[in-house]
Amino acid sequence: MEAISVEFTKVGKRFGARAVLAAVSGTLRPGEVLVVAGPNGAGKSTLLNILAGVLRPSRGGVAYRRGDEEVPRREWFENLGMASPDMAVYEELSAIENLRFFGRLRGHALADGALAELLETLGLPVREHHRAVGTYSSGMKQRVKLAQAALHAPAVLLLDEPSSNLDAAGHEAVAALVARFRARAAVAVATNDPREIAWGDARLDLAL
């Protein structure tokens, strides 16, 4: 995996008459965690969706760079991992089946053993791996979402409220995941949790 930085410049977003982001700039640097904070409705999730290329900004732009080279937009998806409350996992599939599916989607087929290991590092014990995710608790589903974001070891990791629904052990597992990625990836965490804000090497505060 080669290091990628993500630069966003004067990003603005409107939903109809509602202006959500106004000229927001910053950079996700490999080896750093950018914390995106701000009150409910300030646009944290919107910004992460724009950085992921899921939403188009109304103004400004986003560039992925590998060294001096700009990474074309069609290659963003394979280079990023994202977990957010807006994302769903397939309820009728087991955790392992979900990860197999998302892995294939990224062109990154991992052996079941590796997927099981990843789920275990996120605190989901092996005995739960083959049960339909629809029968999981919300914290267990959150762990599957995080595994989905991390499984292809992306150069860019975008985490929207990663500890939502997680207990203390789950929070520690996310902290370990972020620490592992920080070594080589560019990481953004949208959060208002003081424990997560403390992970940030840089911080962007969005206002209402």
Ligand X SMILES: Nc1ncnc2c1ncn2[C@@H]1O[C@H](COP(=O)(O)OP(=O)(O)OP(=O)(O)O)[C@@H](O)[C@H]1O
Judged by CB under 6 A, the stretch of 44-52, 70-78, 115-123, 138-146 that binds ligand X is 44-52
Q: Which does 38 bind (CB under 5 to 8 A by kind): Mg ion, ligand X, none?
A: ligand X
Q: Strand locations in the chain, DSSP E?
A: 5-15, 18-28, 33-37, 59-66, 69-71, 80-83, 156-160, 186-190, 202-205
Tokens of 36: 């995106």
Tokens of 160: 């929207």
Q: Which residues contact 136 (CB under 8 A, 6 or more apart)?
A: 95, 128, 144
The H helix count followed by the E strand count for the chain is 7, 9
Q: Which does 43 bind (CB under 5 to 8 A by kind): ligand X, Mg ion, none?
A: ligand X
Shortest approach of ligand X to residue 27 CB, angstroms? 20
Does 15 participate in binding ligand X (rule CB under 6 A)? yes
Shortest approach of ligand X to residue 36 CB, angstroms? 8
Does 163 participate in binding Mg ion (rule CB under 5 A)? no
User: How many angstroms separate the first and last alpha carbons of the chain?
Assistant: 37
Tokens of 132: 């339909």
Does 45 participate in binding ligand X (rule CB under 6 A)? yes
Judged by CB under 6 A, the stretch of 37-45, 74-82, 105-113, 179-187 that binds ligand X is 37-45
Q: Beta strand 156-160 with 186-190: parallel, antiparallel or unpaired?
A: parallel
Q: Which does 154 bind (CB under 5 to 8 A by kind): Mg ion, ligand X, none?
A: none
Judged by CB under 6 A, the stretch of 38-46, 104-112, 132-140, 195-203 that binds ligand X is 38-46
Comparison of 30 and 43: residue with beta carbon closer to ligand X: 43
Q: Which residues bind to ligand X, rule: CB under 6 A?
A: 15, 18, 20, 38, 40-46
